[in-house]
């Protein structure tokens, strides 16, 4: 009896071939491909952290993405900034190796510290979104010499399971998808305010096609907002880190549906750091870098010139 096999449609992907789409979508000047390279730093025996290094000068910024994302989430922000910087793939995300689990924020921060020392030891600021922001706080606590100023993007230590429910529902979805159309449809369903073109780019950067034509996410299968860093004392204890900060601090929060920062969080931030700056971004939910990347780039430029 003959066995019929389904023809596999391969999707072409060039990691550095999509920047013109980012620029066109957000009205940024584009004179040709930017100077970007991928670097890897040894952080433990047999394990490396990967990062995108933008520009040829001494990196001025370190960008840390959120849970279940990767360094390419910052592409449009990096194009708008047009400054030398490093965007890191957190452990178990993007092209970084997956560490043994369970895992703490302090352990992630130690890996990031090794990458920052190797690639951007004199950076003016560390910018962290969601899990990346919590990791940046842990970095400030354990390696304060690497954090000269800090930008938290839509995150405070008071993130709760209820606030992050929509994010969790997406991250905890199917482990694989039969084809690209299926993974794109699910992504569109959970990101109704984003353009299809931007979501398509995001999938190509954050998922991988298998030999049978199916697709899986690049990030390690983790449970709970922030992956295996469960909401609770590991996060809430970071308010003390914020209280102890002696460097400039900026909180950028989205005010559209999906943000995990509310007015009480903002008030607590200012109670603990009265000199902190707060910026609210119209038209942005939780992923400010995806919803309003040019506005975010402008805020970063003003805060860490």
Query: Which are the contacts of 48, defined by CB distance < 8 A and separation ≥ 6?
Result: 40, 41, 42, 96, 97
- Strand pairing partners for 40? 50
Q: Is 286 annotated as catalytic?
A: yes
Catalytic residue at 179?
A: no
How far is Cα 140 from Cα 142, in angstroms, rounded to an integer?
6
Catalytic one of 75, 89, 108, 154: 154
The two tokens of residue 126 are 């560390």
| Residue 282, token pair as written in the block | 């119209």
Q: Which residue has the tokens 């940024």?
A: 28
DSSP string, 245-258: --S-EEEEEE-STT
Q: What are phi and psi of 138, to 5 degrees?
A: -65, -35
Find, among 162, 169, 141, the residue nearest to 240 by Cα: 141
E-strand spans in the chain? 36-44, 47-54, 61-64, 85-88, 125-129, 150-153, 207-209, 215-217, 249-254, 277-281
Phi-psi region of 137 (alpha: psi -120 to 50; beta: other; left: phi over 0): alpha
Answer yes or no: 262 catalytic: no
Given 130, 149, 259, 287, the catalytic residue: 130
Choose, from 198, 229, 286, 287, the residue flagged as catalytic: 286
**Catalytic sites, residue numbers:** 130, 154, 286
């Amino acid at each position: 009896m003959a066995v019929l096999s389904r023809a596999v449609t391969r999707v072409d992907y060039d990691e550095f071939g999509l920047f013109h789409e980012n620029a066109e979508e957000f009205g940024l000047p584009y004179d040709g491909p930017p100077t970007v390279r991928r670097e890897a730093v040894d952080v433990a025996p047999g394990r490396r952290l990967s990062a995108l290094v933008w520009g040829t000068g001494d990196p001025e910024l370190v960008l840390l993405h959120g849970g279940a994302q990767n360094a390419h989430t910052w592409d449009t922000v990096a194009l708008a900034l047009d400054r030398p910087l490093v965007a890191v793939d957190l452990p178990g995300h993007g092209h970084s190796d997956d560490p043994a689990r369970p895992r703490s924020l302090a352990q992630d921060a130690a890996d990031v510290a090794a990458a920052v020392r190797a690639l951007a030891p004199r950076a003016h600021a560390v910018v962290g979104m969601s899990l990346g922001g919590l990791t940046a706080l842990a970095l400030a606590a354990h390696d304060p010499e690497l954090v000269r100023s800090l930008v938290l993007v839509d995150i405070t230590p008071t993130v709760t399971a209820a606030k992050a429910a929509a994010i969790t529902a997406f991250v905890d979805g199917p482990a694989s998808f039969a084809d690209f159309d299926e993974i794109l449809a699910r992504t569109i369903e959970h990101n109704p305010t984003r353009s299809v073109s931007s979501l398509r780019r995001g999938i190509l950067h954050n998922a991988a096609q298998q030999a049978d034509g199916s697709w899986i996410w690049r990030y390690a299968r983790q449970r709970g907002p922030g992956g295996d860093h469960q909401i609770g004392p590991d996060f809430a204890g970071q308010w003390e880190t914020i209280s102890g900060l002696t460097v400039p601090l900026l909180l950028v929060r989205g005010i559209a549906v999906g943000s995990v920062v509310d007015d009480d969080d903002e008030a607590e931030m200012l109670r603990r750091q009265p000199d902190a700056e707060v910026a609210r971004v119209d038209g942005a939910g939780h992923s400010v870098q995806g919803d309003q990347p040019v506005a975010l780039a402008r805020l970063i430029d003003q805060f860490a010139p």
